[in-house]
Chains A and B, each alone.
Chain A
Amino acid sequence: MFIVEMQSITKRFGDLLANDHVNFELRKGEIHALLGENGAGKTTLMRVLYGLYHPDSGVIKVKDRPVVIHSPKDAIQLGIGMVTQHFALVPPLTVAENVVLGYQNSFVLNQAQIEESVAEAARRFGVEINPKAIVRHLSVGQRQRVEILKALYRNAEILILDEPTAVLIPQEVEALFETLNHLKQEGLSVVFISHKLHEVTQITDRITVLRDGRVVGTVNTTEVTQKEVAAMMVGRETFGVSRIDTDTSDPKPVLEIIDLCANDDKNLPVLKNISFAVSEGEILGIAGVGGNGQKELAETICGVRRPTAGKVLVEGQDVTGKSPSDLTRAGLGRIPEDRHEGMVIHLTVTENLVLEHLDEFTRNGMLDHKAIRQYADDLIQKFQIKAKPNDITRTLSGGNMQKVLLARVLARNPKVIIAPQPTRGLDIGATDYVRQQLLEQRQRGAAILLISEDLDEILALSDRIAVMYEGEIVGTLPASEATPERLGLLMSGAVKEH
């Protein structure tokens, strides 16, 4: 018996066909994977089911009854719960307050009573959490548990998990899987959105593969190999770009980080004595679960966060605490982590291309519009940016925005390149392009610091891999010795290797 049937769902965003006549069926009491690359339409389909998007056409049946789901409220009433990648939690509130938010209809909020009832629910569903804890103080794994509990508390029979393991360390993943298996036994149906093959084959009963907004097929997990599923997912045997080993017998360190410390926005230590060096023609990958200080590391090196101690050297020259413009001049190429915060998206492509080097295009305080235009035209052509010089940057696709940023940085042939999460949210074509560019820069002799939460990316590109955990480098391995298992242990903080 199907608890959910989605028939011929089509959802369009402007020119993008996110879901193209998608059929999806969920059985009662199964864990069903929605598998596909970024942008394949998995999340869109589930947002349709949860009432966050309205399909352009198609039919949804829940328990054999056709339904129209206008909003999450409708979805919740139908017994559907969703845990998104960005947790829908209110950080200053307690766990109990978060769980009952929007569900209690009584006017008075009795703190003792909700804490008791949330604790009771947590026991019943085997979710370990303290209802009185303030969500702000919880770890990512605990927050995810709050989200799951929230759905279960609302009597969800269908639980949608959107990339639930993306933010977890391997040990937390194990705990999550245990919880899910327990819930499955209780008769719950789970949709598990993922692009990680090994997890999908480990936990699910059936797999539906999406590619470019269409269903490629639905299979029983036990009847397929990982390789077959991978082929369904990408439609080609091999994918991506990868590094060719080069001989760097006499490495010359270009970027040196010595005992770097920094505080986070709440003034708590977030970087603890970080030291490493990146040599000419080398890619050093920084692996780690999100939120272990990677963002702050990039910000500190890039001059937008003040270090509290330590040094940053570029070719032996001390650039610690220098302003962003001084760093650029010293040969540091800085790709911002968040495209939307790294570029002024309401300015034109041209303006963003010259923003870092305004002095060079200024004569007596006045902008040299002709030179600026010439420069922009050149870069647009060289980096194959699909945009006109005067287009507002906001109107570009993610891939083209990233190309603008790469053009801005790489056009200068920087000695050092800081690349935090350079392919996050990009489609396959753009991802390949960015990785290819980084490898070319490595070939040219640049020292590249690649910070990524995508372990596959780290493994494919890095010469050496350092792992960050709670603001520290807990281990550094040459690429040849780095296996996902070893990295996983380091990323979880279980071991340290120096």
Chain B
Amino acid sequence: MEVFIVNLIAATFRVSTPIVLAAIGETYSERAGILNLGIEGIMYFGAFVGFLIADKSGSLWVGLLFAILAGVLFGLLMGFFTVTLGVNQHVSGLGITLLLSGLTLFMFRLFYGGRSTPPSIPSFQVIKVLPDNPILGPILSQYWLTYVTFLVIVPLAWWILYRTNFGLKIRSVGENPEAVDAAGVSVPAIRYAALGIGGGLMAAGGAFLSLFQLGAFTHGIISGRGWVAIAIVIFGNWQPIRVMLGGLIFGGTFALQLRLQAMGLQLPVPYETFLALPYIVTIIALVIAGRNASYPAALLKPYRRE
């Protein structure tokens, strides 16, 4: 039982990492007033670009860097549609997701052909901390990006949003862009910046799956994790720390499902029940949290000076 729990906790952090990265990225975007439904596509593309570049260059680091750059780029493209052109955020976000999933599959076929087994590369290895401790050893054996996510990216997001002037501007454009404009700050600049940072984090979340966890790229590598991240942002009430907790709840359910599968138990229900469980939990969490959710007041509203 103890081993089970220790492994579950260890897996929870691992499985949550990509979701938390993406959800923090989405938090930046939505705090600035833009719902980025491109998240699923950006994660997918990030996973692929990271893998492709790492494979071709032989460096996982270069792969990760390019994945993040690609994410920033498509975050900015989302900005072009929703900020500069002021188009419906739902439709343009979905358009970007469809574009990037098509583009990913196109390039995958181009570079790797129609092979049946997914190509793989040697991935980043876990960092072993206190390997001899029976409890902390497994829990602390994590990828470096997991450490960075939970110890740097999440606290940093909180610090930036609440303790910097840049964060003050992000929070303000998401609430009342008129006020920001009247204060002489460029609303588009802040929104583009938030979308760019957000896109980079989403892509890093995708790349975590291909460069760390799997060392491979498969067609179903993201399978709805982006949508989960969006739900978690609402659940977390747009606050980085709570968003992280939401990510851990999802990750916990997902890890439990993985552990149960790994134990090879004969269960009375199909294993897909456990695969679907995190999504069901997310919907329930959304229903509970959604009732008191305080949406950024300017979310979904394009800003135009009259």
Contact present between A and B (CB < 8 A): yes
Contact with B along A92-128 (1 / 0, CB 8 A): 1100011011111111111100000000000000000
A93: chain B residues within 8 A (beta carbon): 168, 171-172, 175
* Cβ-based interface call for A48 (8 A): no
Find the residue from B178, B179, B306 having the highest chain A CB count within 10 A. B179
Contact with A along B204-220 (1 / 0, CB 8 A): 00000000000000000
Q: Are B164 and A109 in contact (CB under 8 A)?
A: yes
A88: chain B residues within 8 A (beta carbon): 176, 178-179, 181-183
* Cβ-based interface call for B116 (8 A): no
Q: Are A98 and B179 in contact (CB under 8 A)?
A: yes
A69-109 interface (Cβ within 8 A of B) = 71-77, 82, 84, 86-93, 97-98, 100-109
Given known A90-B175, A91-B175, A109-B168, contact A101–B180 (CB-CB < 8 A): yes
Contact partner of B165 (CB less than 8 A), chosen from A82, A89, A106, is: A106
A102: chain B residues within 8 A (beta carbon): 169, 180, 183-185
Q: Are A90 and B184 in contact (CB under 8 A)?
A: no
Q: Are A111 and B180 in contact (CB under 8 A)?
A: no
Give complex CA distance A87, B185 in Å: 16
B261-306 interface (Cβ within 8 A of A) = 294, 297, 305-306
Q: Are A92 and B179 in contact (CB under 8 A)?
A: no
Give complex CA distance A108, B305 in Å: 29
Given known A101-B180, A109-B164, A111-B163, contact A73–B171 (CB-CB < 8 A): no
Give complex CA distance A90, B185 in Å: 14
Q: Are B178 and A101 in contact (CB under 8 A)?
A: no
* Cβ-based interface call for A52 (8 A): yes
A91: chain B residues within 8 A (beta carbon): 175-176, 297
Shortest Cβ gap from A182 to chain B (Å): 24
Given known A93-B168, A100-B165, A108-B164, contact A73–B175 (CB-CB < 8 A): no
Give complex CA distance A415, B178 in Å: 42
Find the residue from A91, A100, A102, A108 having the highest chain B CB count within 10 A. A102
Given known A88-B176, A88-B178, A93-B172, contact A72–B183 (CB-CB < 8 A): yes
A84: chain B residues within 8 A (beta carbon): 182
Give complex CA distance A383, B297 in Å: 38
* Cβ-based interface call for B106 (8 A): no
* Cβ-based interface call for B167 (8 A): yes
* Cβ-based interface call for B166 (8 A): yes
Contact with A along B150-179 (1 / 0, CB 8 A): 000000000000111111110110011011
Give complex CA distance A91, B172 in Å: 9
Give complex CA distance A289, B181 in Å: 28
A86: chain B residues within 8 A (beta carbon): 178
By DSSP majority rule, is chain A's interface helix, strand, loop, or mixed? loop
Q: Are B178 and A109 in contact (CB under 8 A)?
A: no
Give complex CA distance A74, B183 in Å: 10
Shortest Cβ gap from B175 to chain A (Å): 5
**A111 to B, closest residue via Cβ:** B163
Shortest Cβ gap from A491 to chain B (Å): 28
Give complex CA distance A105, B181 in Å: 16
Give complex CA distance A75, B168 in Å: 22
Give complex CA distance A71, B182 in Å: 9
Q: Are B167 and A109 in contact (CB under 8 A)?
A: yes
By DSSP majority rule, is chain B's interface helix, strand, loop, or mixed? helix
B87-114 interface (Cβ within 8 A of A) = none
Give complex CA distance A102, B170 in Å: 11
Contact with A along B239-264 (1 / 0, CB 8 A): 00000000000000000000000000
Shortest Cβ gap from B99 to chain A (Å): 28
Q: Are B165 and A104 in contact (CB under 8 A)?
A: yes
Q: Are A92 and B175 in contact (CB under 8 A)?
A: yes
Give complex CA distance A71, B184 in Å: 7
A98: chain B residues within 8 A (beta carbon): 179
**B296 to A, closest residue via Cβ:** A92
Q: Are A107 and B172 in contact (CB under 8 A)?
A: no
B184-243 interface (Cβ within 8 A of A) = 184-185
**B305 to A, closest residue via Cβ:** A52
**B167 to A, closest residue via Cβ:** A109
Given known A52-B305, A93-B172, contact A107–B184 (CB-CB < 8 A): no
Q: Are A72 and B165 in contact (CB under 8 A)?
A: no
Q: Are B165 and A105 in contact (CB under 8 A)?
A: yes
Q: Are B183 and A103 in contact (CB under 8 A)?
A: yes
Q: Are A101 and B175 in contact (CB under 8 A)?
A: no
Find the residue from B172, B176, B182 having the highest chain A CB count within 10 A. B182
B114-163 interface (Cβ within 8 A of A) = 162-163
Give complex CA distance A106, B163 in Å: 11
B306: chain A residues within 8 A (beta carbon): 52
Q: Are B172 and A90 in contact (CB under 8 A)?
A: yes
**A84 to B, closest residue via Cβ:** B182
Given known A52-B305, A73-B184, contact A90–B171 (CB-CB < 8 A): yes
Q: Are B176 and A90 in contact (CB under 8 A)?
A: yes
B168: chain A residues within 8 A (beta carbon): 93, 97, 100-101, 109
A52: chain B residues within 8 A (beta carbon): 182, 305-306
Q: Are B179 and A101 in contact (CB under 8 A)?
A: yes
Shortest Cβ gap from A178 to chain B (Å): 25
Shortest Cβ gap from A298 to chain B (Å): 23
B169: chain A residues within 8 A (beta carbon): 101-102
A109: chain B residues within 8 A (beta carbon): 162-165, 167-168
Contact partner of B164 (CB less than 8 A), chosen from A73, A75, A89, A107, is: A107
Give B residues with C-beta under 8 Å from A.
162-169, 171-172, 175-176, 178-185, 294, 297, 305-306
Given known contacts A88-B183, A100-B165, A109-B168, what 20 new A-B pairs fall within 8 Å (CB)? A72-B181, A72-B183, A73-B184, A77-B184, A86-B178, A88-B179, A89-B179, A90-B176, A92-B294, A93-B168, A93-B175, A101-B168, A101-B169, A101-B180, A101-B185, A102-B180, A102-B183, A102-B185, A107-B166, A108-B165
Pairs across A and B, CB under 8 Å, 9 listed: A52-B305, A72-B183, A72-B184, A74-B184, A90-B179, A104-B165, A107-B164, A109-B164, A109-B167
